[in-house]
A and B are shown apart, each in its own frame.
Chain A
Amino acid sequence: MSYDIIERSEVPLTKEDFASDQMVKWCPGCGSHAILASLENVFPKIGYKRENFCVISGIGCASRFPYYVNTFGFHGIHGRATPIATGVRVSNRHLSVWVTAGDGDLMAIGGNHFIHTIRRNVDLNILLFNNQIYGLTKGQYSPTTPFGQITKTSPYGTIEKPFAVGKLVLAAQGSFFARALDNNPKLMVDVMFEAAKHDGTSVIEILQNCVIFNDGAHKEIADRTTAADKQLILKHGEPMIFGKDRNKGIRLGAKGLEVVTIGENNITEKDLLVHDMTQEDSGIHNMLVDMKLPHYPMAFGVIRSVPTPTYDELLEEQIKAAQKSSPIKCVDDLLNSGDTWEI
């Protein structure tokens, strides 16, 4: 278990211990500020020594992140944060490795690495900042921009269907998927903590607002005044209840998930689905990540967290087994193995 093998700090650390000396240069009002604050809050809570955290990024607004966190940080190239992070973790399992990247970075140029990283289940924590736009290049549509949206490179509206991040994660046999919002720091800290505890590739999709190029992209879901009716915050082992009166719920019907009202048509809490994030079969998780407005609330929190052997752990086991069984203990043994002769 990663959570047990990484060395912990003897003295409690604070948020300030993780703030770097670099000036934060995101736009005022950008969702990234809240994500940074959440990460700086969750690191002391996780409790590892500061030097055992490693933050890795690609290119984009989200990728400036490593410069602002006072740990080991690596600012990579566009789309390649996940393979770089994989190399770090496979080399040293005693590090807690975090990837920060946007939807353009992870879904477009890094799409191939994204699915393969998930399939391998390397123990990484990936924060996917989904603002449905390219921010750093100033407003082109991304693979998660909704169909028909007008942007600088789609003046007549996009004619591409967007990726659903969660469905992609599940299709790639992801072992952990959570969703959070940049305006709900408590939820962010909670799911980041769960991600840290999970062994394997943890993907957190954070719905993030880009104030300059895609302001209000998630407004309908994120607006605090109506959030209770539009957001289903999942808790493992608890029935799926939402709504400002806490009287709405999700039931599994003949044709899939249904929104029902407790008290109507003899519906009680017992009729509702109880969230099981550890369920191996991804059927219900798939339906949950697919819930969209206006017919459904959007699902948040940890949707899936299934214990699955990690790539780095399996590799370590193979190395240990080979070291025990192989007659080749050093390179001299190798050089002298097989057919050799004296001249």
Chain B
Amino acid sequence: MTKGKIEVIEKESVVVKFAGDCGDGMQLSGTLFSDTSAMSGNDLSTFPDYPAEIRAPHNTVAGVSGYQVHIGSEIHTIGDKCDVLVAMNPASLRANLQWVNMGGTIIVDADTFVERAITKAGYESNPLEDGSLSSYNLIKAPISSAAKQVALEQGLELKEADRTKNMYALGMVAFMFDRDLQILSNQIAAKFKKKPKISETNIAVLKAGYIYAESIEAIESRYHIPTATLEKGKYRNISGNIATAWGLLAAAERSGRPLFLGSYPITPATDILIELAKHKSLNARVMQCEDEIAGICSSIGASYAGSLAVTSTSGPGLSLKSEAIGLAVMTELPLVIVDVQRGGPSTGLPTKSEQADLLQVLYGRNGSCPCIVLAATSPNDCFETAYMAAKLSMEHMTPTILMTDGYIGQGSELFRIPKVADMPSITPPIAEKNDLNYKPYRRDDKTLARKWALPGTQGLEHRVGGLEKSDILGAVSTDPNNHEKMVYFRNEKVQRVADYIPEQNVIGEESGDLLVVSWGGTKGQTYIAVKEIQKQGKKVSLAHFKYIMPLPKNTAEIFAKFKKILVCELSDGQFANYLRMVHPQFTYRKYNKIKGTPFTTIELTNAINQYLKEE
């Protein structure tokens, strides 16, 4: 179907953003485009960009909803800037122009660039005509009117016909990227399977958009994106929050312990609660509680009674849970606390992402109160990390905090579907009935974990609680030596987890001039930046941490082989400060960003190069 004179550009990856007014259907266009790309063999990463307001005023910058997708052969981030922007009204153009690469393609719905909408978006003159877009490949398409005409011809009512314009835009983008119309049509048919009329019309409008793009002179180039070099297997698209929920369900099934979630809605963690609430058929017991504290306390009760207990939240909610985390540490019960970080302090930036909860997670409690801490590194990694958090918590009988963030929680990428039977086994130390040796605080020699004695089990009646208990017997005790011993045990138990987690790996050479250190949700960005620097022939490697407390045993060994260490994080340097405390023998340089947005590759490569140059 390609026109002979259209140039085909080979590109390793491209970033496409669909943007429009809330209600223009941009999330659907974006999802259909990304799913079709995945089915065509591309690797990808996506990120929905909703306004904070639920129903922001029509045609305003505050009301712009976007969906960004990065496709290619090997994708680790949603991409810094767009190669193609679809802007369905003046406001969405204004909100997103800064994120379009110079020379990139901008497809606008020209029908919407009327005076009132242009003014409402904050423009003083029509950007389509005042020359301000001359550095871009601007395609002015009559998207609304053309879509409406096709839809009316198909017999749709006027109101419904107006809503098909997202398919016209999608059709145009499908042409540019040579997407298979059949796959797209099947996706649309599945989406609207209960409304055949809407389904047929949307497919007709999609095709009309495709044909329009093919026929106009404006589209000078099509992109050819090589397919992914991924491991063979069955794949799906998954967001971080869903992956977290599923990882926990997998751990529940594998351990034989029913899942209990006590939670309270909070952005950007709510999707975990919503997802788990769906899965009653998997025996997920989900309570939406009256507050964050009830969320964690009901989970502690559930853990005491033998469930894999989880509470999910974001930074402010974690603050409210602090006292109860102490209770779980003291009673030495398993508990997974999920912190989907957002910008802080206080209410902060609820819809933006940050890594500034680390010190709260590590130390934000009274007393000496250690937890195992893991930080997921990407949307699909949330599955494995949630699974491991549950495994470690149950096997070592101590709370585990799983850190993710708004960016990886809401972003999505391809996920190679595992088999639950292939996941590592989970064997919690459950006490047998009538075990004459059972004592509440008798410990395993190796892990120092106490046994999990479930109410209802004959012969194991015992009492636990927040008061300090005597070693082994578990009676209330204020004995000074006993307290010091118990503090030691609780700390040492967490430290010994280092014997049960993988060693830290290094991406690149094992020694060199500079080691870039990062942790948690920034892996995609630091990986890309370090790869780029390595291509320039520089001796730079990356150590990206997922196990935070305890750190992997070989951490110091790795650090010692590099001349310089640069810690990159989306906070004011909390991980760097933590490393200074644990491994004070090294000098850490910090590269921090606290803007609520992810690192861009250029920011990181600049920082790395600058530090390499410094004496």
Chain B hits for A343, CB < 8 A: 41, 228, 230-235
Chain A hits for B11, CB < 8 A: none
* Complex contact A342–B234 (CB within 8 A): yes
Contact of A75 among B297, B456, B466 (CB under 8 A): B466
Chain B hits for A329, CB < 8 A: 281
- In the complex, whether B3 has a CB less than 8 A from a CB of chain A is no
- In the complex, whether A51 has a CB less than 8 A from a CB of chain B is yes
* 8 Å CB interface, A6-46 against B: 20, 22
Chain B hits for A88, CB < 8 A: 301-302, 304-305, 455
- In the complex, whether A92 has a CB less than 8 A from a CB of chain B is yes
* Complex contact B456–A331 (CB within 8 A): no
Chain B hits for A340, CB < 8 A: 234-236, 417
* 8 Å CB interface, B303-340 against A: 303-307, 309, 323-324, 326-327, 331
B606 shortest CB reach to chain A, Å: 35
* Complex contact B323–A77 (CB within 8 A): yes
Chain B hits for A49, CB < 8 A: 458
State the main secondary structure of chain B at its contact with A.
Answer: mixed
Alpha-carbon distance A338/B38, docked complex (angstroms): 14
Alpha-carbon distance A321/B456, docked complex (angstroms): 26
* Complex contact A331–B420 (CB within 8 A): yes
Interface window among A79-87, A275-283, A291-299 = A79-87
* Complex contact B289–A83 (CB within 8 A): yes
| A84-B297, A87-B301 known; A332 vs B420 contact (CB < 8 Å) | yes
Chain A hits for B280, CB < 8 A: 318-319, 321-323, 326
Chain B hits for A77, CB < 8 A: 297, 323-324, 326-327, 466
User: From B253, which residue of chain A is reached at the shortest CB distance?
Assistant: A331
* Complex contact A92–B455 (CB within 8 A): yes
User: From B455, which residue of chain A is reached at the shortest CB distance?
Assistant: A72
| A76-B465, A331-B420, A343-B233 known; A90 vs B294 contact (CB < 8 Å) | no
| A76-B297, A318-B280 known; A90 vs B285 contact (CB < 8 Å) | yes
* 8 Å CB interface, A39-60 against B: 49-52, 54, 56-57, 59
* Complex contact A73–B462 (CB within 8 A): yes
User: From B252, which residue of chain A is reached at the shortest CB distance?
Assistant: A331
Chain B hits for A134, CB < 8 A: none
Chain A hits for B306, CB < 8 A: 91-92
Alpha-carbon distance A315/B260, docked complex (angstroms): 12
- In the complex, whether A70 has a CB less than 8 A from a CB of chain B is yes
* Complex contact A92–B456 (CB within 8 A): yes
- In the complex, whether A235 has a CB less than 8 A from a CB of chain B is no
A60 shortest CB reach to chain B, Å: 12
Alpha-carbon distance A212/B257, docked complex (angstroms): 46
Chain B hits for A85, CB < 8 A: 301
Contact of A116 among B290, B302, B304, B418 (CB under 8 A): B290
* Complex contact A326–B301 (CB within 8 A): no
Query: Please, what's the 1-or-0 string for A293-336, where 1 marks a CB less than 8 Å from any CB in chain B?
Result: 00000000000000000000001001101110110111110111
User: From A312, which residue of chain B is reached at the shortest CB distance?
Assistant: B285
Most central of B41, B291, B305, B458 by chain A CB within 10 Å: B305
Number of inter-chain CB pairs below 8 Å:
205
User: From A56, which residue of chain B is reached at the shortest CB distance?
Assistant: B301
Interface size on B, as a range, is: 35 or more
* Complex contact B458–A84 (CB within 8 A): no
Chain B hits for A75, CB < 8 A: 463-467
* 8 Å CB interface, B433-476 against A: 454-467, 475-476
Chain A hits for B419, CB < 8 A: 332
Most central of B41, B281, B420 by chain A CB within 10 Å: B281
- In the complex, whether A245 has a CB less than 8 A from a CB of chain B is no
Alpha-carbon distance A85/B304, docked complex (angstroms): 10
- In the complex, whether A66 has a CB less than 8 A from a CB of chain B is yes
Chain B hits for A91, CB < 8 A: 258, 260, 285, 301-302, 305-307, 309
Alpha-carbon distance A104/B283, docked complex (angstroms): 36
Contact of A112 among B236, B291, B475 (CB under 8 A): B291
Chain B hits for A331, CB < 8 A: 246, 249-250, 253, 282, 420
- In the complex, whether A242 has a CB less than 8 A from a CB of chain B is no
Chain A hits for B253, CB < 8 A: 330-331
User: From A55, which residue of chain B is reached at the shortest CB distance?
Assistant: B463
* Complex contact B262–A87 (CB within 8 A): yes
| A66-B463, A72-B455, A72-B462 known; A83 vs B237 contact (CB < 8 Å) | no
- In the complex, whether A95 has a CB less than 8 A from a CB of chain B is yes
- In the complex, whether A67 has a CB less than 8 A from a CB of chain B is yes
User: From A328, which residue of chain B is reached at the shortest CB distance?
Assistant: B281
Alpha-carbon distance A342/B416, docked complex (angstroms): 9
* Complex contact A339–B467 (CB within 8 A): no
Query: Please, what's the 1-or-0 string for A97-132, where 1 marks a CB less than 8 Å from any CB in chain B?
Result: 000000000000000110010000000000000000
Chain A hits for B235, CB < 8 A: 340-343
Chain A hits for B601, CB < 8 A: none
* Complex contact B285–A95 (CB within 8 A): no
Residue ranges of A at the interface with B (Cβ–Cβ < 8 Å): 20, 22, 49-52, 54, 56-57, 59, 66-67, 70-77, 80, 83-92, 94-95, 112-113, 116, 315, 318-319, 321-323, 325-326, 328-332, 334-336, 338-343
Q: Which 8 A-B pairs have the closest CB atoms?
A: A75-B465, A87-B301, A326-B281, A87-B298, A322-B280, A83-B297, A73-B463, A87-B302
- 22 A–B contacts from the bound complex (CB under 8 Å): A51-B455, A51-B456, A52-B455, A59-B466, A67-B476, A71-B461, A72-B463, A76-B300, A83-B262, A83-B289, A87-B297, A88-B304, A90-B287, A91-B302, A95-B455, A112-B291, A112-B294, A318-B280, A323-B281, A331-B249, A339-B39, A339-B187
Residue ranges of B at the interface with A (Cβ–Cβ < 8 Å): 35, 38-39, 41, 187, 190, 228, 230-237, 246, 249-250, 253, 258, 260, 262, 279-283, 285, 287, 289-291, 293-294, 297-307, 309, 323-324, 326-327, 331, 417-420, 454-467, 475-476
